A = this chain, B = another copy of it.
Amino acid sequence: MKKKSVNAMEVAKLANVSQSTVSRVFTPGSNVSEKTKEKVMEAASFLGYRPNALARGLIMNKTNMVGLAMREIQNPFYHEVLGKFTKGLREKGYHVLFVYTENDEIQQEEITQFLEYNVEGVIVTDALLSSNVVTQLQESNIPVILFNRYSHELSCHSVSCDNYSAAWQIADYLYEQGCRRLAYITGRKNTSTSQDRQRGFCDYLQAKGVKVIIEEGNYTYEGAYKAALNLLKRNERPEAIFGANDITALGALDAAKSLQLSIPEDVTVVGFDNIEMAAWPANSLTTWEQPVDEMVKITIETLINQINKKQVDAKPKLVSGKLIKRDSTKKSKVVDK
């Protein structure tokens, strides 16, 4: 087993003070004279003492840990998100207990560890929670926040990109460019992200009297590739394809290229997320940039406010983002092409 680590008592003995004094030295804002503080610090660093976070968490009922559950998904966007979360939380003094889940709905046992370790809050990324898990967390008074997902059934806070409005604007952009045959390749059908993007896109175009062809892409490159082939082999080939995310759009882009179609002349493609690859010259994908920094910041702030019992209204928070125009769509407006 582990070697017993140095504790406050040993430091106290060496420094000729009481153990309480040692504790105070390591508690910011405590009253300790400069002289004893030095003495204690010296003894502590000599012995290599560090306060035990477990014991501290136990007595203070505050662990400084946040549970982060992330859906396993092959999308660089979420890797970036993960990085920003860990860094942002660390700046606020929180540590991350991490769990990766394969399911769209976080399972009971995956949340159990969070409860047992007394995390102060839980962030769920790109996944949902079963309602009994939400209840359980609420009973334990542990705030939860969903990132880039929401659910009307669950009374959870959430932060997402305003997917509906973004898709609406993308539709507008394509329509104004003269596209009249448009297609949407979905993500996973049961995700709010994919649904909202589809609704925003279709609602705009329906208002214009344009019908949208829908194909399922499942948020995978392969799925999108096949979906795009289906679309592009139709008699009436779509002039524009909107992919539920960048990976989807890249699948569509490559499918089009495999059919010797020119981008953007024969078909234009738009994605969502603005992952790094979208900017690669070979892709140069027009896409919607989610303001990740802002989204992460809001998520963390909301969570911490909840932890500190500042009242926060539980309505889903939406942030906008912006369209990044690249070569996969036409540069200039060409009305009524």
Give chain A's interface residues, CB within 8 Å of chain B.
Answer: 1-5, 48, 50-55, 57-58, 61-63, 65, 68, 72, 74, 76, 78-80, 82-83, 86-87, 90, 95-100, 112-113, 115-118, 120, 136, 139-142, 221, 225, 250-251, 253-254, 257-258, 276-277, 280-282, 309
Q: Are A282 and B258 CB-contacts (below 8 A) given A72-B83, A99-B96?
A: yes
A45 to B171, CA, bound (A): 52
* A52 cross-chain contacts in B, Cβ below 8 A: 58, 116, 118
Considering only CB atoms, which chain B residue lies closest to A139 in the complex? B48
B58, B83, B136, B309: which contacts A48 (Cβ < 8 A)? Answer: B136
A65 to B57, CA, bound (A): 15
Of the candidates A253, A280, A282, the one having the most CB atoms from chain B within 10 angstroms of its own CB is A282
- Contact between B254 and A5, CB atoms less than 8 A apart: no
* A142 cross-chain contacts in B, Cβ below 8 A: 2
Closest 6 CB pairs of A and B: A254-B282, A98-B98, A53-B116, A3-B141, A86-B100, A79-B79
* A118 cross-chain contacts in B, Cβ below 8 A: 2, 5, 52-54
Q: Chain B's nearest CB lies how many Å from the CB of A319?
A: 23
Q: Chain B's nearest CB lies how many Å from the CB of A218?
A: 14
* A100 cross-chain contacts in B, Cβ below 8 A: 82-83, 86-87
B61, B254, B276: which contacts A74 (Cβ < 8 A)? Answer: B276
* A96 cross-chain contacts in B, Cβ below 8 A: 97-99
- Contact between B117 and A4, CB atoms less than 8 A apart: no
